[in-house]
Amino acid sequence: MHELTSIAALRERLAAERRAGRTIGLVPTMGYLHEGHISLAHAARRKVGKSGKVVVSIYVNPTQFGPKEDLSRYPRDFKRDRQFCRNAGVDAIFAPSDAEMYPGCGEATDEPAREDARPTFSTYVVEENLARGMEGVSRPTHFRGVTTVVAKLFNAVLPDFAVFGAKDFQQAVVVKRMVADLNFPLQIIIAPTVRESDGLAMSSRNRYLDAEQRAQAVILFHALQAAKQAVARKAIPATKLKKDLQKFFTAAPLGTLDYVEFFDPETLQPVAQVKRGTHMALAVFFGKTRLIDNGRL
């Protein structure tokens, strides 16, 4: 397994594979890998076959964190990540520095840039429709950072396809739109959410939860199941189902509901009537830890 930290070295390595006719799959991550990430690597391996190459990028992208979010404390353990990748049969890890990805911006911090700063990096990719709702409301600068870093990764790796997890459903749909709108020559694959035995979606942020918060965090999964059961036989007005779920969350007093939305899975547009096939997404705070989940009802 190769470990690469510069775009130049990555391109040189993958150019040889491409000349040999090998398929290349990319799994973008921010590290602190868990079984959910590894399922994406396995999906990539199935797609490329034995002769193809699977690249996992490990980079905590500062531009997708807001000023008061958890960039400085986001979990990092490259030694652990390396072992996960080796066990999963990954062919190459791309682990760039901030300076490599954002030349001239200096060290990443949670502090806003000085007004007199003159970074040499000043170009961003912005999707202006699908990124507006849900996460875009709660985290206004988030998707600009996501689309920018993903576009840079696509240009560095030049993969035939990239695999994203369904847990970050809006993100995956935004990336698909970016790929279509900007004519990136690759396929986007959305792999199923991997869950703990009690239903909680696997996330690097789960480690922030104390024992009591962790026990109550399963409310996100239970809310999805409750909504699915509610619309199994007939459509329900979205306003009514939201109110019902707000009451449902009283069973998890340590959690604070950020949002719950019902929408078309292709357009991400909110729906007035929730029925089978509608998509649901929600975000909940447990202390400073923000968890998200989603599912097709």
Which residues are marked as active site? 37
Indicate the Cα dihedral angle 87, 90, 91, 93, nearest 10°.
-100
Residue with tokens 């909504």: 227
**Residue 277 near residue 297, CB atoms below 8 Å:** yes
Burial of 229 (0-12, 13-18, 19+ CB in 10 A): exposed
Residue with tokens 């502090």: 111
Q: In what order do the strands lie in the sheet with 24-29?
A: 2-4, 92-94, 53-58, 24-29, 161-165, 187-191
Q: How far is CA 59 from CA 33, 75, 169, in A?
A: 11, 11, 20
- The tokens for 295 are 């599912």
Q: How many CB atoms lie within 10 A of CB 131?
A: 25
